[in-house]
């Protein structure tokens, strides 16, 4: 286990060593004298519950831990750049740091989707295990370090397993997916399409109106806490689980590589540690608030909370494997990352089955 941890950390160590070498070659100013003012762009609405509030805490933690030597001003989506331009803005240095989700950048590189969520993929514990001890983070950094991207990514938040979404009509069989117009991005959307549905991609701010007016029949966003923030319980009656499409979506901080290596070593460590703390804290916040919001939805809002029928999930799973197999053939980065991801998922699934899964069943006896 120790040896595996050292191997997993090798990529990060190389990055730090390279940065130290550049630092020594620079002006020779003492690290404690240097102050940095950074801009942070995000894909979230201002102060959005969970994600936006987590980012605000991250910035406070970095400023406090650095005694004010690294100050970061946060810009919500559209304040400096639109949500889906965060990757380019940080890559090009318009902002030094950004927060969002890697699967938003699938048009830059489809392999990025593995670093957020894959349908029927991994839950939050399995995802963190792959990232920190299973080779995932090294692959993530290798991909983002390409000259055209010029980024250093850090795991920085997770919503935990999501809900399957809000539906105006019940889903009783695979036939009910035919012609279903649903807000569902990424690979999940492609899977729905193969099952006969019509996937739509909408930003958070547009989901409620689209669902309420009937321009879409269904929508997935996150889970009870975040979905109630959008008021989705007033737009559809049926709330399905589980979130097969996003079982443990990881969020990311991305830092411009030139900006990162310019920081003295202690500030680089502070950025890394603050992101790691956010990764834990956001998950804890979502878990606690989802439990509270679920109770409200069940008792006060009269929402019909139901599991997807097994044959529907089986069909979606089958199409997921079909989509992934095609992606592996089309893209060598996907092939390399998929090999690590799927090998790890297989081992993790066995351990999860006789640990968390077995325990949760026991608790309900």
Q: Which of residues 27-66 bind Ca ion (CB under 5 A)?
A: none
Residue number with CB closer to Ca ion (195 or 328)? 195
Burial of residue 174, with CB atoms counted within 10 A of its CB: 0-12 exposed, 13-18 middle, 19 or more buried: middle
Residue closer to Ca ion, measured from CB, 246 or 252: 246
Nearer to Ca ion, 128 or 159 (CB): 159
d(CA 180, CA 196): 7
- Interstrand relation of 181-183 and 165-167 (parallel, antiparallel or unpaired): unpaired
**Which residues 70-99 are close enough to bind Ca ion by CB under 5 A?**
none
User: Taking CB under 5 A as the criterion, which residues in 161-200 touch Ca ion?
Assistant: 162
Nearer residue to Ca ion within complex by CB, 103 or 149? 103
Nearest-approach distance from CB 162 to Ca ion, in angstroms: 5
Residues 202-221 binding Ca ion (CB under 5 A) are 220
DSSP string, 232-289: GGGT-SEEEE--TT-SSPEEEEEEEHHHHHHS-HHHHHHHHHHHHHHHHHHHHHHHHH
Q: Which of residues 128-147 bind Ca ion (CB under 5 A)?
A: none
- For 164, the 3-state DSSP assignment is coil
Nearest residue (CB) to Ca ion, 126 versus 220: 220
Which of these ranges, 29-37, 87-95, 159-167, 343-351, lies near Ca ion under the rule CB under 5 A? 159-167
Residue 73: strand pairing partners: 39
Output the smallest distance, CB 139 to Ca ion, in A.
23
Shortest separation between residue 245's beta carbon and Ca ion, angstroms: 7
Judged by CB under 5 A, the stretch of 19-27, 156-164, 289-297, 335-343 that binds Ca ion is 156-164
**Residue 97 backbone class (left: φ over 0; alpha: ψ -120 to 50; beta: rest):** beta
305 three-class SS: strand
| Shortest distance (Å) from residue 220 CB to Ca ion | 5
Sign of the CA dihedral 194, 197, 198, 200? negative
- Closest distance between Ca ion and the C-beta of residue 192, in Å? 13
Nearest to 103 by CA among 112, 92, 94, 90: 112
Smallest gap from Cβ 249 to Ca ion, in A, equals 7
Q: Total residues at the site for Ca ion (CB under 5 A)? A: 3
Closest CA to 316 of 233, 227, 246: 246
* Nearest residue (CB) to Ca ion, 141 versus 183: 183
Residue 186 beta carbon to Ca ion: minimum distance, rounded to whole angstroms: 8
Q: Residue 179 contacts by C-beta under 8 Å, 6 or more apart in sequence?
A: 196, 197, 198
Closest CA to 190 of 101, 102, 118: 118
Contacts of Ca ion in 224-253 (CB under 5 A): 246
Q: Which is nearer to Ca ion, 61 or 226 (CB)?
A: 226
| 148 C-beta neighbours (distance < 10 Å), count | 8
- Considering the complex, what minimum distance in angstroms separates the CB of residue 221 from Ca ion? 6
Cβ-based nearer residue to Ca ion, 155 or 247:
247
Q: 246 vs 315, which CB is nearer to Ca ion?
A: 246
CB of 38 to Ca ion, least distance (A): 28
Tell me which residue of 73, 101, 72 sits closest to 87, measured CA to CA: 101
Question: What's the rounded Cα separation, in Å, for the pair 219 and 240?
Answer: 10
Which of 158, 162 has the CB closer to Ca ion? 162
> DSSP letter at 50?
T
Shortest separation between residue 213's beta carbon and Ca ion, angstroms: 21
**Footprint of Ca ion on this chain (CB under 5 A)?**
162, 220, 246
């Amino acid at each position: 286990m120790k040896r595996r941890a050292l191997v997993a950390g090798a990529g990060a160590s190389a990055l730090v060593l390279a940065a130290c070498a550049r630092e020594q070659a620079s002006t020779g100013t003492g690290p404690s004298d240097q102050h940095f003012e950074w801009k942070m762009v995000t894909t979230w609405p201002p102060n959005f519950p969970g994600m936006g509030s987590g980012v605000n805490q991250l910035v406070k933690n970095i400023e406090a831990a650095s005694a004010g030597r690294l100050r970061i001003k946060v810009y919500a989506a559209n304040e400096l750049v639109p949500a889906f331009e965060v990757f380019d803005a940080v890559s090009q240095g318009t902002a030094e740091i950004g927060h969002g989700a890697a699967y938003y950048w699938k048009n830059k590189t489809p392999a990025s989707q593995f670093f957020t969520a894959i349908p029927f993929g991994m839950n939050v514990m399995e995802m963190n295990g792959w990232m920190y001890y299973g080779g995932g983070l090294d692959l993530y950094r290798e991909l983002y370090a390409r000259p055209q991207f010029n980024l250093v990514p850090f795991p920085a938040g997770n919503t935990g397993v999501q809900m399957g979404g809000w539906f105006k009509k019940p889903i009783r069989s695979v036939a009910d997916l035919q012609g279903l117009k649903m807000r569902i991005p990424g690979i999940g959307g492609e899977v729905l399409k193969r099952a006969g549905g019509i996937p739509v991609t909408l930003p958070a701010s547009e989901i409620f109106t689209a669902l309420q007016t009937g321009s879409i029949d269904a929508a997935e966003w996150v889970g009870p806490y975040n979905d109630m923030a959008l008021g989705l319980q007033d737009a559809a009656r049926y709330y399905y689980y589980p979130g097969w499409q996003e079982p443990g979506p990881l969020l990311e901080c991305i830092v411009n590589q030139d900006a990162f290596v310019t920081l003295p070593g202690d500030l680089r460590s502070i950025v890394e540690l603050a992101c790691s703390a956010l990764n834990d804290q956001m998950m804890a916040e979502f878990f606690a608030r989802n439990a509270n919001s679920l109770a409200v939805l069940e008792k006060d809002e009269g929402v019909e909370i139901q599991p997807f029928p097994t044959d529907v999930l089986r069909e979606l799973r089958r199409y997921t494997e079909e989509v992934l197999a095609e992606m592996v053939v089309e893209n060598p980065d996907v092939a390399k990352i998929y090999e690590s991801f799927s090998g790890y998922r297989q081992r993790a699934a066995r351990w999860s089955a006789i640990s968390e899964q077995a325990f949760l069943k026991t608790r309900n006896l």
